[in-house]
Each structure stands twice: as C-alpha cells, then as structure tokens.
C-alpha cells in the first residue's frame, strides 16, 4: 500500500513539475502589455464589393470609436458591466477560479457551452493580444497575461480599456460609440435603464440587439438590473423605476447607399462566422453576389406598385437557383427607419404559396397530375378537433377537379384532401429538404400555409429554386469570397448541391406551376416570350400576399404586407391584395427589368455534387430553350391522341422524360 501511495505521489510531483516548467517557458514568451493608448489601436477598414466590382459599403472600427476617460463613463454603466460580466472583478487577481468552476459545472449540466468563466481582465487580454483563437494554449496564455496585467495595472485602468474597446453591436466599439448609436447621446448622459441595456449587449450583441430584437433586449436589461440589485449597486426602488423606463432608440447614424438590407444581411453573417473585430477592423475585402442592375430593377419594381408611404411594404429576394447566389434583395421601404429585414428575417404565413411542397410530396408518392379529387368544401377530424376547409370566396362548391386544375386555381379543398392522403409529416419533411429552414409542425393546416412561425421570402425563393434546378438543393448565399487586404483568402462559402427530389418530379411540378401563370391565379406574372412558373399565396383576411416563381436562371419571392402583420389589405389602390395582384405584378415588373440586363460578371462558382454522384455532360453543359408539345392533362410529351396539346419553349433540363400513354 505504501509503495502505491509513494508511486502516486511521485507521479503527482512529476506532473506538477512538468506543468511548472511549461508555464515558466510560456511566461518567457509573453508580450508586455501596456494599456496606455491601447484603445486607439489603428483598425483597417473593410470594403464590400458588388458582383460587378463596384464598392457598395465600407465597414470600419476606429472611425466609429471615441475613447473616453473612466471618469466620463457614468458609475451605473461601470457597475452594470461589472455586475453582469465579472461580479468579482474588484477582488480577483485577473482570473476568477470560482467563475471557471461554476461555468464548467453549468456547462456539464447543460451539455453545451452556455457559460463562460473569463474575467474582464482576460477579455481585455483577448482583445489586445490573443486574437481570440480557440485553443487550450490561448486560454493558458490569456490567464498568465491577465495575472501579469493586474500585477502591473490598477483595476480602473483595466476597466477603462475594456469599456472603450468591447463591441456593443451594429458597428459600435466602446461605450461612447454605443451610447451615440443607440441613444443619440454621450455615454455621460445615460440613465440607469440605458446603462443596463448597454451592459446586457456585451455577452452577445447580435442576440440582444435592441434594434433587431427589442423584446429580447428589454428582457436582458431586466436581468442586468436584477443582478445589480442583488450585488447592492442599486436599490429595489431604482430597479423598478429602470424596468418601467421607456424604451426609445435614436435613428441609425449610418445607412449604406446601395442595397442596405442586403449589406446588413451579409455583415451579420460575417460577424457570426468571423467575429465583429475581424469584420470591422480586419481590412477585409468582401466580394458579394449582389447584381447592381438587378437590385435597381427590384427597387424600381417595388416602388412602381407601392409608391405611397401608407402603402403596405414589400420584400423581394432573387436567387440564382443554379448557384444559390442572391442577386437582389429588398427588405423593406426605409432601412433608416427600420433595419428589420423583411426579406431575410420576416417570418410570415405563406398561404397557398406553400402548396407546391404538398404537390412535390404527392408527385413523389405517385399521385398523377390528371388524378381527380372532390373539390367541394371539406371537413375532417384531426388531432385537435374538426378541420373545416372552404375554397377561396366559396368557389367550387361541388364537382371534381384534376390535381392540375386544382393547382391552377389554388383550390383549398383539393389540397386539404391531398395532404390527408400523403401525410403532413411527409410534406413537412419535403419542405425542409427543399430549403424551408423555419420550423414546420406536421399538421394538415400546412397544406394551406398554416405554419406556426411562418417563412421568409429568402427561404421561399431558395426552395422554389430546388424545383427549378431539377431537384437540386443549394444553400443561398450573399458572399462569393472574403479576403484580407493582402489578398489572402479568409472565407469562401462551400457551394454544394444535393438532389433532394427526383428530376421527373421537379419537371412535373414545374409544368404545373407554369400552368398557374399561363391559365390560373398567376396570370399577372406572365411575360410574353418567356417561360415562367410560379404560385400565388394569400392568407386569411388578406394580411399577407405572395408570388414566388422562376424564369431564366432566377427564382424570386415577393411578399406584400404590413410590418406588424395584423393589418388587412382590403383597400390598397382600390383593390384587395391577393398573391395574384400586387405581388405578381411586382414580380413581373422585376423580372422584365432583370431579363433586360446581362448578369453581372460574378466570379464563376460551380456547385459541387456529392462525391458518390456521377455528373454527366448533360448536368454540366449550358442549358438551351427547346420547343416541345406537352399534353395538358398528364404534363408529359404529347402524342397524336392527346385531346389538348400545348406547345411551349422549355429549358432543356425541364423537358419531360416520358411520353403520354393515357390517350
């Protein structure tokens, strides 16, 4: 027994000796940290380019930072940051062992990294010296530097440096910039409620953004105030008064001139991927997919249909479905007035624009376009009661319709019966595979667009592009590549494609959606001489209206509605707004303008197929338009016996593989 204890003691001593040698050798290579002037370190401006090489935005750090001495930073703000970020800041020596143990314990219980143990001093070290690389060695160096820094510097200087360098979101570095950007005043003029809100941003500026997520920001402010009261920085009465304080933000100070919603969308994507410091101070060269000519066409199309300030708003997204590259994006009427991006962030009910996902699922399961369904109003018992379905404006009160005709005229009762036949679970899975990222509860109401959280125009344009591309799903992106100012590659999206629906199914669905534009509810989107496919969508009480469709190599989604989502659009320019009215007209106006322009010279990026898939010449060769005869009943190549034949020019990739055998 004694031999075992002795051996264990020797092992422990050797481990301690090894750790001591490791730490000593690392300490010899540590840089000297001098906080004097550290907040004024020069940052390199990042430049954003459109697809044609024109500059559309510049992102910077130093020009948007004003360094202020600690005495000009109000005490409540200092106390709020300390309370929520490092409550033992004034007692530890640079590293808080208790916080590390607590974070380790809570992360183990949660199963994810939900808590951090870094002190304010460690965060200063991270900002100034370690570039934030995620390695164990970095954490050890960070701890040693934190001890070194606190041995040489007083707490006030550490806190002053931190408050002048930390990121508060939306391009704001330091408390002075944050105070001016969010509240239009100097940091010295902030009240307790404003101080608490800013302090709450430090942990995650994107998640707690008062601009993008005001309700979450207010909730986070309450957490900070509670922590300040618990630690004795404020009284209960002060906490209550600050919780009840009005939430008023100043208008944004900087607005990009070109495609502001697109630029902000790309910026937030890169912040999530690379970090705010790299984006605003790293001298990036961001090459985007934005086509200025198509962006201008999109903005012109929106203005042409909704010119008045009291009109509903419109979101439009155009995606090249062959590459996934976003060519144009309109996220609202006034970026300066409201930065919430209706195109990428606005989750709205899609109405009948969701029916193509039911259609694709049904075609995959063997339902034929010529199959007939009862079109009369439908009632069926479902899990939470009886589901009663009526057709738009009480049309088709009796009789039967083919699936093709029901798609043309968006007959709710047919699609209700169809989803009960194929199953809501399969429809939800199909929609997810095709590109709908928003949560979908598998209940029958999704057949008519009854989703719990809604969908965004961006994901609708992308998902319809899966049909247009022959069944290939490609993740949408606004970025071609990102380099530093020396030309070294920093980030490049991996444009991979996956065939998620059979080509035969995508061809059948495309032909049926083409009929919607030619003969159904989407005729306002028809463009003479151009092959167009799409679907309309209108929600209950005319609160949301959609047209989503594709032509040439663009898949485009148009949504029309009011931002609060509760306003009925029954008298807009003298008409009720349905998917077949203003959205379809806007879509057509954009597409006509887009087709007049050659695509901007985007750096070619070919999506890659899965490694186990053989790609033939037919998959990679440029597509051409060919004249074909289609049976209007079966949507296959027509024969002499077909009663009604439609001649049309089709993309060669969409020519049906089969010949009609029904007639």
Q: Rounded to a whole number, what is the distance in angstroms from the first to the last CA of the chain?
A: 93
Final residue of a structural domain among 216, 243, 270: 243
Give a yes or no: residue 523 inside a domain: no
pLDDT of 608 reads 37
pLDDT of 502 reads 95
- Report the relative pairing of strands 325-330 and 372-374 from DSSP bridges: unpaired
**How many domains is the chain partitioned into structurally?**
2
Give the range of the structural domain holding residue 644, as residue numbers without chain letter: 620-663
Give a yes or no: residue 485 inside a domain: no
Give a yes or no: residue 249 inside a domain: no
- Report the relative pairing of strands 285-288 and 46-49 from DSSP bridges: parallel
Mean pLDDT split into 10-residue runs, the chain, 663 residues = 57 47 43 53 75 90 70 96 92 73 50 56 77 51 72 86 88 86 93 97 92 93 96 96 92 74 95 90 92 97 96 97 97 92 95 97 95 92 86 77 94 95 96 95 89 92 96 96 91 92 94 95 95 95 96 97 90 94 98 78 38 32 58 72 65 64 66
- State how far the Cα of 48 lies from the Cα of 323, in Å rounded to an integer: 20
Exactly one of 177, 352, 410, 555 is catalytic; which is it?
A: 352
Residue-by-residue DSSP string for 335-359:
TTT----TTTT--B--GGGGHHHHH
- Which residue in 416, 321, 432, 441 sits closest to 362, CA to CA? 416
pLDDT of 226 reads 96
Pull the structure tokens for residue 411: 């007959």
Give a yes or no: residue 331 inside a domain: no
**Known catalytic residue: 352?**
yes
Pull the structure tokens for residue 472: 């290939």
CA atoms within 13 A on the CB side of 240: 3
Burial class from Cβ neighbours inside 10 Å (0-12, 13-18, 19+) for residue 384 reads exposed
Final residue of a structural domain among 190, 218, 243: 243
Side-by-side strand order, sheet with 479-483: 55-59, 46-49, 285-288, 479-483, 489-491
For residue 1, what are the β-bridge partners? none
- State how far the Cα of 111 lies from the Cα of 129, in Å rounded to an integer: 30
What's the length of the chain?
663
Burial class from Cβ neighbours inside 10 Å (0-12, 13-18, 19+) for residue 415 reads buried
CATH number of residue 143's parent domain:
1.10.3810.10
**Known catalytic residue: 85?**
yes
For residue 297, what are the β-bridge partners? none
Give a yes or no: residue 238 inside a domain: yes
pLDDT of 151 reads 73
pLDDT of 1 reads 64
Give a yes or no: residue 644 inside a domain: yes
Exactly one of 85, 176, 313, 433 is catalytic; which is it?
A: 85
pLDDT of 140 reads 57
Who's near 492: CB < 8 A, 6+ residues apart? 479, 480, 481, 482
Give a yes or no: residue 624 inside a domain: yes
Final residue of a structural domain among 243, 261, 295: 243
Give a yes or no: residue 566 inside a domain: no
């Amino acid at each position: 027994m004694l031999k075992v204890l002795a051996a264990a003691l020797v092992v422990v001593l050797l481990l301690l000796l090894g750790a001591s040698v490791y730490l000593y050798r690392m300490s010899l290579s540590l840089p000297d940290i001098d906080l004097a002037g550290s907040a004024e370190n020069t940052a390199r401006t990042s430049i954003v380019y459109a697809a044609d090489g024109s500059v559309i935005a510049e992102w910077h750090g130093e020009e948007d930072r004003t360094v202020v001495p600690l005495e000009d930073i109000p005490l409540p703000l200092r106390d709020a940051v300390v309370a929520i970020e490092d409550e033992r800041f004034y007692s530890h020596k640079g590293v808080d062992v208790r916080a590390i143990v607590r974070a380790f314990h809570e992360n183990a219980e949660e199963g994810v990294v939900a808590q951090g143990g870094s002190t304010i001093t460690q965060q200063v070290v991270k900002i100034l010296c370690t570039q934030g690389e995620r390695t164990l060695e970095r954490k050890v160096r960070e701890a040693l530097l934190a001890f070194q820094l606190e041995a040489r510097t007083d707490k006030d200087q550490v806190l002053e440096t931190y408050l002048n360098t930390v990121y508060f979101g939306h391009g704001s570095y330091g408390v002075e910039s944050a105070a001016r950007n969010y509240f239009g005043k100097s940091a010295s003029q902030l009240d307790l409620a404003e101080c608490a809100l800013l302090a709450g941003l430090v942990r995650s500026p994107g998640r707690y953004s008062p601009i993008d997520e005001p309700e979450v920001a207010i909730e986070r402010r309450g957490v900070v105030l509670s922590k300040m009261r618990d630690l004795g920085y404020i009284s209960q009465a002060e906490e209550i008064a600050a919780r009840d304080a009005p939430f008023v933000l100043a208008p944004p100070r900087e607005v990009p001139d070109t495609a502001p919603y697109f630029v902000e969308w790309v910026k937030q994507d890169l912040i999530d991927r690379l970090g705010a410091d790299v984006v605003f101070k790293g001298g990036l060269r961001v090459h985007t997919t934005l086509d200025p000519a198509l962006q201008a066409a999109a903005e012109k199309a929106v203005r042409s249909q909704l010119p008045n300030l009291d009109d509903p708003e419109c979101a439009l997204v155009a995606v090249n479905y062959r590459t996934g590259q976003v060519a144009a994006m309109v996220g609202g009427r006034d970026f300066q007035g409201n930065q919430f991006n209706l195109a990428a962030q606005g989750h709205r009910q899609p109405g009948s624009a969701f029916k193509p996902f039911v259609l694709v699922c049904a075609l995959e399961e063997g339902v034929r376009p010529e199959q007939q369904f009862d079109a009369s109003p439908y009632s069926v018992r479902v899990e939470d009661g009886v589901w009663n379905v009526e057709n738009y404006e009480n049309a088709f009160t009796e009789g039967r319709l083919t699936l093709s005709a029901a798609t043309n005229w968006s007959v709710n009762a047919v699609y209700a019966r169809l989803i009960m036949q194929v199953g809501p679970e399969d429809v939800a899975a199909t929609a997810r595979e095709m590109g709908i990222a928003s949560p979908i509860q598998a209940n029958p109401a999704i057949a008519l667009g009854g989703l719990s959280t809604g969908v965004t125009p961006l994901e609708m344009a992308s998902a319809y592009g899966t049909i247009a591309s022959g069944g290939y799903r490609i993740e949408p992106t606004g970025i071609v590549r990102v380099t530093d100012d020396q030309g070294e590659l920093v980030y490049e999206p991996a444009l991979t494609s996956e065939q998620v629906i059979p080509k035969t199914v995508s061809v059948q669905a495309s032909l049926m959606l083409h009929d919607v534009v030619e003969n159904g509810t989407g005729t306002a989107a028809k463009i003479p001489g151009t092959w167009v496919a799409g679907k309309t969508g209108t929600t209950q009480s005319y609160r949301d209206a959609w047209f989503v469709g594709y032509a040439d190599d663009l898949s485009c989604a148009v949504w029309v509605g009011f931002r609060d989502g509760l306003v009925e659009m029954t008298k807009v320019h003298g008409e009720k707004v349905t998917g077949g009215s203003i959205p379809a007209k806007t879509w057509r106006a954009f597409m006509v303008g887009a087709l007049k322009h050659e695509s901007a010279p985007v750096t070619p990026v070919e999506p890659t197929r899965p490694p186990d898939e053989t790609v033939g010449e037919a998959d990679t060769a440029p597509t051409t338009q060919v004249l074909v005869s289609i049976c209007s009943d079966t949507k296959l190549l027509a024969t002499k016996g077909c009663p009604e034949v439609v001649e049309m020019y089709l993309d060669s990739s969409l020519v049906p593989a089969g010949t009609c055998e029904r007639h």
